[in-house]
Amino acid sequence: MMKRVYGLVATAALAVTAAIAFAADAPAPKDNGQAAALYSGKFFKAEESVTSGSAAGISYKAIAGTLVVHPEDWNDVAQNGGKNNPDAKADESSAEASMFFVYYAKTGAPPASRPITFIYNGGPGSSTVWLHMGAFGPKRVVTADDTHTPAAPYQLVDNASTLLDASDLVFIDAPGTGFSRIAGKDKEKAFYGVDADGQAFSNFIQEFLSKYNRWNSPKYLFGESYGTPRSAVVINDLQNDRSVDFNGVILLSAILNFNLSVDGPETNPGIDQPYEIALPTYAATAWYHNKLPGKKPAELLPFIHNVEQFAMGEYAWALQRGALLSPKKKLDIATKLHNVTGLPVSYILKADLRINGGEFEKTLQDDRDLTTGRLDTRFSGTTLDPLSEEAEYDPQSSALSSAYVSAFNYYARNQLDYGQGKEFKPMIDVFKWWDFKHKQPGAGFAFPGATNVMPDLANAMKQNPNLKVMLNGGYYDLATPYYEGWYEMHHLPIPNRLQSNISYHYYESGHMVYAHEESLKELHDAVAAFIRSTSNVK
């Protein structure tokens, strides 16, 4: 899940705590006497709880646990050398994170021929409960399709769409979220920022590969929402700074260039692409809620493909004209916008042809006293303040969050045997600390403007020409509109020959594509096929 940021932009088991022989039934690395030092820190120690289960006809082992990671400038000599090391004192209070994960591995599958996928949500400040309980974990919580899910008891079922048929899975909670924790001097500065966050995930993955003997497995990143810019940073870091090539990067609900966000573009006047890129989603939403004037088009896709052409053609031209656009042409464009969005012509003119995401969500169903969803515009909810200018909440988040969070708390404590005495934090507020500055590949310093990690993904693709990228998006996503991802992929600074390494898949759902059961099945099939076709397994 992803928060709105204006101007810048979701069977009882035996617990064990020692390193164990587990990695899809492969032996763990031998303990050379330093394992405790390697996987523990001053504030935290690594934890594990091992269970087993089956879903969709697949038997698996599961590890719920933590790994300890440190910031980029951490000195491991101090930790491994103990108190007698002269550098130890300097590192005693340095920040560290205990990152929570759940690792599922198919029973009996040899690691060298078994893909492994690292999965995370975004926020920033979100745990990975959403992808875990809604998409690819072995258990899935059942929720209503486009309305508020009734309160507990919630239904937790075997997930027929678990990705375990194609890959072992590692669900990771970002530092401070879920069961992950941070501690030490300047801990927020050490982990809350584009580059600091990427560093933490790269460190986690590298440590995980060592601890669970997965260095020679086909490897994938799967990020959703803010997890997509994280993936761009991490893949460039792992491949080009740490010499760890990956087979593929899977992006769901992408945003790589925050200048393109339809959340608060009015704070960046002169940049009109956000309005153009969001228009097809506005149109899809108006189509879904029967708000289009005249006869409703019979099918969604031909309709929004025509809107895409208008958005990047005549509408883009009109916005570029600025004050030079004649009143007659402005009225013509406003009328055409009315025809594809259902918004009143007078409102469109008053907005100077530029409507941001929050304004659209508040206004589309104003006559029904309803606010339209942001993460998934198929959802609606009662408007909190009829006089507000923009939406004041997201009906989809309100409709689903309790089911996901309640189901995971039950599942973790009763089936994964993890979390007793600990609070699970589905979302945390990191924005008072979050550093959006980013040091792009080859740059001498972190750029202070809006985050743009397109160069990171491009650099990773250029230096590893075999790297495949899969883009997934929902037509009803207004947090990261589907056409934004398409636009970004077609503007990556890469040679045209590498464009064939990118594949595109779209679904009649929202930001959390998997919240619509039919789309979840389609997403699973597409991702599984992508992994099988790129894993290099004979």
Say whether pLDDT at 311 is over 80. Answer: yes
Cα 124 to Cα 432: distance, rounded to the nearest angstrom: 12
pLDDT tens column, 208-250: 999 999 999 999 999 999 999 999 999 999 999 999 999 999 9
- Answer yes or no: is 11 within a domain: no
344 and 297 housed in the same domain: yes
Total domain count, the chain: 2
- Answer yes or no: is 8 within a domain: no
Cα 410 to Cα 417: distance, rounded to the nearest angstrom: 10
Say whether pLDDT at 88 is over 70. Answer: no
Structure tokens at 472: 């997934």
Mean pLDDT for all residues in the chain: 90
Say whether pLDDT at 86 is over 80. Answer: no
The gap from C-alpha 212 to its chain's centroid, in whole angstroms, comes to 24
Say whether pLDDT at 81 is over 70. Answer: no
Output the pLDDT for position 13. 29
C-beta of residue 60 within 8 angstroms of C-beta of residue 164: yes
Output the pLDDT for position 15. 28
Say whether pLDDT at 538 is over 60. Answer: yes
254 and 305 housed in the same domain: no
119 and 25 housed in the same domain: yes
255 and 320 housed in the same domain: no
Q: What is the mean pLDDT of residues 86-114?
A: 83
Say whether pLDDT at 449 is over 90. Answer: no
- Answer yes or no: is 2 within a domain: no
Residue type, position 432, single letter: K
Tell me the pLDDT band of 87, cut-offs 50, 70 and 90.
low
Say whether pLDDT at 437 is over 70. Answer: yes
Say whether pLDDT at 41 is over 90. Answer: no
41 and 168 housed in the same domain: yes
pLDDT tens column, 284-307: 999 999 999 999 999 999 999 999
Say whether pLDDT at 369 is over 60. Answer: yes
- CATH, residue 32: 3.40.50.1820
227 and 299 housed in the same domain: no
Among candidate residues 142, 202, 254, 235, the one with its CA nearest the CA of residue 483: 254
H or E stretch at 238: helix 227-241
Structure tokens at 86: 């002269």
- Strand partners for 321: none
Q: What is the mean pLDDT of residues 128-157?
A: 96
- Answer yes or no: is 500 within a domain: yes
Q: Is 66 helix (H, G, I), strand (E, B) or coil?
A: strand
Q: Is 211 helix (H, G, I), strand (E, B) or coil?
A: helix
342 and 485 housed in the same domain: no
Tell me the pLDDT band of 25, cut-offs 50, 70 and 90.
very low
The gap from C-alpha 309 to its chain's centroid, in whole angstroms, comes to 28
C-beta of residue 236 within 8 angstroms of C-beta of residue 459: yes
- Answer yes or no: is 6 within a domain: no
251 and 299 housed in the same domain: no
Say whether pLDDT at 37 is over 50. Answer: no
Cα 340 to Cα 329: distance, rounded to the nearest angstrom: 17
Please list the alpha-helical segments (H only) found in 174-326.
187-191, 194-211, 227-241, 273-288, 300-310, 316-321
Tokens 């646990």, located at residue? 65
Structure tokens at 483: 């056409």
Q: What is the mean pLDDT of residues 490-511?
A: 98
Output the pLDDT for position 78. 55
Tell me the pLDDT band of 385, cut-offs 50, 70 and 90.
very high
Say whether pLDDT at 11 is over 50. Answer: no
Say whether pLDDT at 355 is over 80. Answer: yes
Output the pLDDT for position 320. 97
- Answer yes or no: is 4 within a domain: no
Max Cα distance, the chain (Å): 80
128 and 185 housed in the same domain: yes
Output the pLDDT for position 94. 82
Tell me the pLDDT band of 27, cut-offs 50, 70 and 90.
very low
Would you say the C-alpha torsion 189, 128, 499, 449 has a positive or negative sign? negative
Q: What is the mean pLDDT of residues 467-476?
A: 98
Output the pLDDT for position 71. 87
pLDDT tens column, 157-202: 999 999 999 999 999 999 999 999 999 989 999 999 999 999 999 9
How many CA atoms within 13 Å lie on the side-chain side of 115?
28
C-beta of residue 253 within 8 angstroms of C-beta of residue 477: yes
E-state strands within 47-176: 47-55, 58-69, 96-106, 116-120, 139-141, 156-158, 168-172
524 and 505 housed in the same domain: yes
Tell me the pLDDT band of 393, cut-offs 50, 70 and 90.
very high
Phi-psi region for residue 140, left (φ > 0), alpha (ψ -120 to 50) or beta?
beta
Measured at the CA of 141, the angle between CA 376 and CA 470, to 5 degrees, comes to 55
154 and 237 housed in the same domain: yes
Long-range contacts of 405-414 (CB under 8 A, 24+ apart): 405/129, 406/152, 406/154, 407/133, 407/139, 407/141, 407/154, 407/156, 408/129, 408/132, 408/133, 408/141, 410/156, 411/133, 411/139, 411/156, 412/64, 412/179, 414/12
Q: Is 405 helix (H, G, I), strand (E, B) or coil?
A: helix
Q: What is the mean pLDDT of residues 307-336?
A: 98
Cα 57 to Cα 8: distance, rounded to the nearest angstrom: 44
Q: What is the mean pLDDT of residues 74-88?
A: 56
**The domain boundary residue, chosen from 363, 396, 429:** 396
- Answer yes or no: is 3 within a domain: no
Domain ranges, residue 311: 265-396
220 and 297 housed in the same domain: no
Structure tokens at 6: 């204006």
**The domain boundary residue, chosen from 360, 375, 396:** 396
- Answer yes or no: is 512 within a domain: yes
Among candidate residues 279, 55, 113, 159, the one with its CA nearest the CA of residue 523: 159
Output the pLDDT for position 72. 78
> Which region among 79-93, 113-127, 130-144, 439-453 has the lowest average model confidence (pLDDT)?
79-93
The residues, any chain, with a CB within 8 Å of residue 285's CB and separated by 6 or more, are 291, 360, 364, 372, 377, 378, 476, 478
Tokens 């309980």, located at residue? 133
**The domain boundary residue, chosen from 396, 426, 457:** 396
